[in-house]
Structure 1
Amino acid sequence: MNILILGATGFIGSVVAARLVADGHAVTGLGRNPMRARLKQPAIEWRRADLSHMTRPGDWEDLLKDRQAVVNCAGALQDGLSDDLSATQAEAMLALYAAAKRTSQPLVVQISARTAGAAGDLPFLATKRRADEALVGSGLPHLILRPALVLGRNAHGGSSLLRALAAFPLALPLVHADSPVETLSVDDVAEAVSRAVAGGLRGDIDLAADEVLTLADLIGLHRQWLGLAPARIFSLASWLARPVTWLADMAGLLGWRSPLRSTAMTVMSEGIRSEKRESGLTATSAPATLSANPSGVQDLWFARLYLLKPLVISGLSVFWLLSGLIPLLALTKTSAHFLPFMPEAAATALTLATCLIDVALGATVLVRPLAKRSLLGMLVVSFAYLTGASLLEPALWLDPLGPLVKVLPSILLTLTALATLDER
């Protein structure tokens, strides 16, 4: 079959795409930035597209030509600079259904979620529910699959947070530690999609393993998987997490997709449960999923670095903002360093320019779409400062306060931020 996969570069989508290729299907993957995916999965035809800009049926007609199936693995947790939930999860899907009815009327497989409960009215689930209801009413052949918490060899979002919390040193501080959580393997999702494409699965299906763990149990299981000794769990009141959630929401507005945002916390407050009905599908338990994918040292590194990453980005931002703002408070004194080499007006102008560059880099590194360019800018400016100062005033290397020596750790921190910047 000729199959189109939305969100094919993501955690679930990449596994589903690989499974369908292995089944012998011709697969086209859709993603915002498929360049790396094209290198990793060359058997797939890759197309670049942003669902938030595909809200009219005409946007889909060319993509849907001769398609026998469409699998929607795309989704987002919360509105922000990088995501528009209404456009991506609802309007784009309604446009797709309208176009599909006018073309080949393909099978539509929608990877959705349980949309009832405490978070049911939040945009994350409300938009999914709107798309699900529209799909049922469209008359198109379809499967709506509602998986519980998906685990796999890789990690993204909530599963990344599980690993990060499991690697916490000494003790594990948890909010909603007793919330029930059902899980399954990402391979179970791929199996369900494969069976739907083969013609054996239709309707609206919840999918989860029979085992129900608490959040504390699940994190303890991940800690064991990472090869770490058991640690004591401290159950925290939910209000203690509100400052972290607020910061995560602010980061979301700047394009960072943190799993600590308010939507995720609301969902976890009641747990992740399903309403399993007989479907002929089986799901893999969390212990079996993890034991089938033994961890390596790279998993331990990832887990330990995951929560350090926002601190590294924030620390760099503060460093550059202060390095630009503090000299502005004593502009005349700061510009005096340049007086032996240029006129006073030029020295003042150069000092002001460097301060504004520092402030700009410190601010833009907080904006996710600009972060990589900002980090590269930090490296360029740092080496320019070191080179210029070494040539014009080498005695600064002997300064007891170390204004040049301090640049070296910031360069290493910037390289660390660049190395950990990718999210998938």
Structure 2
Amino acid sequence: MAFIHQLGLNKLFSLFSPVVRPLLNVRANQRLESAVNVWDLRDAAKKRTHLMCFGYLDSGADDELAMARSRSAYSEYECHYNVLAGNSPETLDLRTTLFGGQVNLPFFMCPTAGHRMFHTLGEKATASVAAEKGILFALSSLSTTSVEDVGKILPANQPKVFQLYLWKDKGLNRELLARARENGYDAVALTADFSWFGNRERDRRNGFSIPPSYSVKQIVEAIKRPAWTWDLISNDMYTYANINQDVPAESLAAFINKQLSPEFTWDDAEWLAGEWGGHLSLKGVVRADDAVRALKSGFSSVWISNHGGRQLETAVPPVDALPEIRAAVGPDVQVILDGGVMRGTDIAKGLALGADGVGIGKAYLYGLAAGGKEGVAKAVDTLEDELQRAMGLLGVRTVDELKARGPELIRRRNTVKWPPA
């Protein structure tokens, strides 16, 4: 299929898209409409998306235990709800403040790489949903839509975050920070747990690569997923839009691997804090001592994450690390949580246990892969509905009330009863 883009045949195919795309997406649209939760969106994404790309989205490191435990850890926390609270949808207020700006929901879209791998609209679809819903959007530096193009989609008064890896090339770091600043990004999140590349064995089995290879296996898998494949062959080939455009697409993976380094230290992090000079969050923290050190090194917030269980196998579930980190940094430091969130009750538990905001990753990408912008909107709407129901049944009306009463409402199974002795 490489010759299609080399010869520019994708331009020709695109002329037929208004007719072909709707026909190929009939079943995908039906699955999307019938989905009732994020797990259904996952199933729909699997049926529409090339095996290689779905595997990249769906997988974790090694035996995928860290990923599974990040999800299952939420089930270890129980809801000790109040009855007769008089709650109704009209009494609930899910608004809160994140990264200095007001948002309509306390959860948001985490920075995740390569949205156009899953649907041709990519980050334009996900950012558009964030803009319409009035929620925080975080853009990955390995996005397939540029900092500038996403910045144009998001309203100026709506907070947005740019995620950065600490590249070896400090000139590249400065360039990305400058572009983020010029395009109105309110904060930067430095991902600190990606200096080594996790062992994603499912990717190796599936022959995952960017850009896609054109082996017999990959072509057969492409034929099995005609809606996804039509998007691929009728649009321009996707690349990492924020990385040096002089690097050929075929060399991007090697370029990125060469730019990452396991030698990063706290000195490098402090250098970045000085370069940015604004709101800076350290992403990938799972220990209280690292959280405290981050604040002393110039970071203004802490982002608890184990990279979706995609880096170090059997890493601690982020929600389990949350209470200790919150206690260590105190009540006034913004703490963000992500990892394993698949239900609105997960979001409620994260807020109750000490998070100011909760990030979703796979959940909205399943929606994107299942049905583009409509799929992303369904993922967000589903989680919002579940969160509203959870708050209503818990007996709280605002995010602040949920956070303030968290220790009495959400308790770990088989622990001492509230209040403690």
TM-score of the two chains, using structure 2 as the length reference: 0.26
TM-score of the two chains, using structure 1 as the length reference: 0.26
> Quick one: higher RCO (CA 8 Å, sep 6+), 1 or 2?
2
